[in-house]
Amino acid sequence: MKATMLYGPRDVRFEERPDPTIIQPTDAILRISAACVCGSDLWPYRGIEPTTQPRPMGHEYVGIVETVGSAVKNIQPGQFVVGSFATSDNTCPHCQHGYQSSCEQREFMSAAQAPLLRVPQADGTLVATPHIPSENLIPSLLTASDVLGTGWFAADAANVKPGATVVVVGDGAVGLLGALSAKQMGAERIIVMSRHETRQKLALEFGATDIVTERGDEGVARIKELTRGLGADSVLECVGTQESLMQSIRATRPGGHVGFVGVFHGVEIPGGEFFFSHVHLHGGPAPVRRYLPKLIDLILSQKIDPGKVFDLRLPLDQVAEGYRAMDERRAIKALLLP
Amino acid sequence: MKATMLYGPRDVRFEERPDPTIIQPTDAILRISAACVCGSDLWPYRGIEPTTQPRPMGHEYVGIVETVGSAVKNIQPGQFVVGSFATSDNTCPHCQHGYQSSCEQREFMSAAQAPLLRVPQADGTLVATPHIPSENLIPSLLTASDVLGTGWFAADAANVKPGATVVVVGDGAVGLLGALSAKQMGAERIIVMSRHETRQKLALEFGATDIVTERGDEGVARIKELTRGLGADSVLECVGTQESLMQSIRATRPGGHVGFVGVFHGVEIPGGEFFFSHVHLHGGPAPVRRYLPKLIDLILSQKIDPGKVFDLRLPLDQVAEGYRAMDERRAIKALLLP
């Protein structure tokens, strides 16, 4: 098959690779229905995360099960499945506590920007839909694999409750779907920080009530203005930089919650300021598996339409253009169709 | 009157000071029944926190109301009262959310190691007992003013629930009372990290089920051993150093909670490690006022006896010896009687 490899900064190649095979009896092989480029793929693409050797790319996927290993019990060939970007056995104590992305058997997925994909721990990682879904729902189901599940976790980790005032820092796909998630959780006010017109528009479609274009200290001052000087109940940190984290902590009221899902690269949280902030801090790699049944249900019943984040569709062999478009912020998120 | 002043590192003086008077109409003046030396007083005493000018010391207090300002409505002369180390109006939005130590009118108390004390925002800061308590309960009521309230907040911020496995990092008065608090909240297992025999003994009296003497990486390894490799549900960080915080985060299971109350001096939380830890982090200056009614009730009904943390009693004029004894760890906590 031909699949996607990253050789170094801005060097994405679609090239011949061996077909994946069952390695462990708990594996499954999927025929990918759709894959996509993730905001987090841009870290190595931009060289911020070093690439020491060519690496297979992609960790978001939906597809049809082709074959399963001998120990796989629940997942069957022919099923349409959605899986998390982190594998999990879904039985260990961490999984039982709902932290499947800290599963004792966790592996981070890769190689999903391809026509075929090996998924370890298939029984614990994958969730099958009741029927083969109609084609128009596939992009939305694909978002559940990462960006929707991650936005949902950001909102959950930020303790979004009915009536809450919520701020979303970051207008990438995760931030936008964080706004959608907060809306589903009953937030009354959803303030999205964004300077990009197309993203603002989508944020409003997903349930945002206010847009703030200021950043940093000015952004925090604007949030304070909008919240009677108090700060927000819940802030979703969907970027992962020092600036965005500090902006998030400072925009939260004492006793409020910051849910963070942007991977921290070189971020240090200053203890003294954090101590006196009285803010709750929780996040990390989203335990998408915990939310998959609920999210699949919301999508199949067409209560949410998260697939709108895909504003670029490409055949898989044009994957390099998907990276370029997202890197240059010409696209929010690129859908790849094998 | 004579009262306690800190002039610089290890320079505590008990000297003539003007009697406090009502400054704001919301003030009250108390005649102090008992005061004490706090672990946090040792920061400036040791010179870790600089003392630029002589400062009045003491922020833990119980006493009888002498006079009140014209705007004070609920607190009356003659009442026995317990107050928090942080003042609060108990009506602003932060107070209503239970974060009275982030009150819009917050001041941090000082000058309580004295026979008379001015308390701002008396109505919101002080809680009166139903009757004048018997003398033997006064030390316990005094702990509610800070160390018990702070230990209780550490346990609450660490989300201690019935059946939980709890670790307490720090065997000072706050840590020991954190163990007592965890016990009251129904924790099944309470592991206290301590190397000091008298403190270990008190920890066990307060409800600890295990003592761990190892620290740092070895301490974390021991906690992992005691928790089937998982880590604890709830960890109470009652020290405030880089080492104790990292020990706390690393001893917590993914999805577990660290409640921190040790004031962070120069601590930096490494974002990358914290991101992947999946730990909840919450704490800061304890909103003692939130818990005072409950804690006073537990003490008056003799369900808890937190006053045991006082293992040194001194007349107030020997306050300097109280500091010395705590600095040299000869005493857990020094009670001062005017």
d(CA A180, CA A148): 9
Nearest chain A residue to B255 by CA distance is: A99
d(CA B177, CA B205): 11
User: Which residues of chain B are within 8 Å of residue A94 when distances are taken between CB atoms?
Assistant: 230, 253-255
Element (H, E) at B124: helix B122-125
**Cβ pair A30, A87 in contact under 8 A:** no
pLDDT tens-digit profile, chain A (338 residues): 999 999 999 999 999 999 999 999 999 999 999 999 999 999 999 998 899 999 999 999 999 999 999 999 999 999 999 999 999 999 999 999 999 999 999 999 999 999 999 999 999 999 999 999 999 999 999 999 999 999 999 999 999 999 999 999 999 999 999 999 999 999 999 999 999 999 999 999 999 999 999 999 999 999 999 999 999 999 999 999 999 999 999 999 999 999 999 988 889 999 999 999 999 999 999 999 999 999 999 999 999 999 999 999 999 999 999 999 999 999 999 999 99
Number of A:B CB contacts under 8 A? Answer: 105
**Predicted ipTM of the assembly:** 0.96
Domains of chain A: 2-146+287-337 (3.90.180.10), 150-283 (3.40.50.720)
**Cβ pair A111, A338 in contact under 8 A:** no
pTM of the model: 0.96
Question: Nearest by CB to B271, which of A99, A102, A268?
Answer: A268
C-alpha distances (whole Å) from B15 to each of A206, B114, B118, B278, B335 are: 65, 10, 18, 51, 19
Question: Nearest by CB to B285, which of A97, A276, A280?
Answer: A276
Question: B253 and A283: CB-CB below 8 Å?
Answer: no
Element (H, E) at A243: helix A242-250
Tell me the sheet residues that pair with B3: B15
Query: Residue A327: is it exposed, middle or buried by C-beta count within 10 angstroms (0-12/13-18/19+)?
Result: middle
C-alpha distances (whole Å) from B85 to each of A38, B23, B107, B202, B289 are: 49, 19, 9, 24, 9
CA dihedral B168, B171, B175, B177 (to 10 degrees): 120
Alpha helices in A62-146 (DSSP H): 93-96, 122-125, 138-144
pLDDT tens-digit profile, chain B (338 residues): 999 999 999 999 999 999 999 999 999 999 999 999 999 999 999 998 899 999 999 999 999 999 999 999 999 999 999 999 999 999 999 999 999 999 999 999 999 999 999 999 999 999 999 999 999 999 999 999 999 999 999 999 999 999 999 999 999 999 999 999 999 999 999 999 999 999 999 999 999 999 999 999 999 999 999 999 999 999 999 999 999 999 999 999 999 999 999 988 889 999 999 999 999 999 999 999 999 999 999 999 999 999 999 999 999 999 999 999 999 999 999 999 99
Tell me the sheet residues that pair with B328: none
Question: Nearest by CB to A272, which of B94, B264, B271?
Answer: B264
Residue B281 phi, psi (nearest 5): -130, 125
Helix, strand or coil for residue B123?
Answer: helix
Q: Which tokens is A111 given?
A: 């190689």
d(CA B78, CA B69): 14
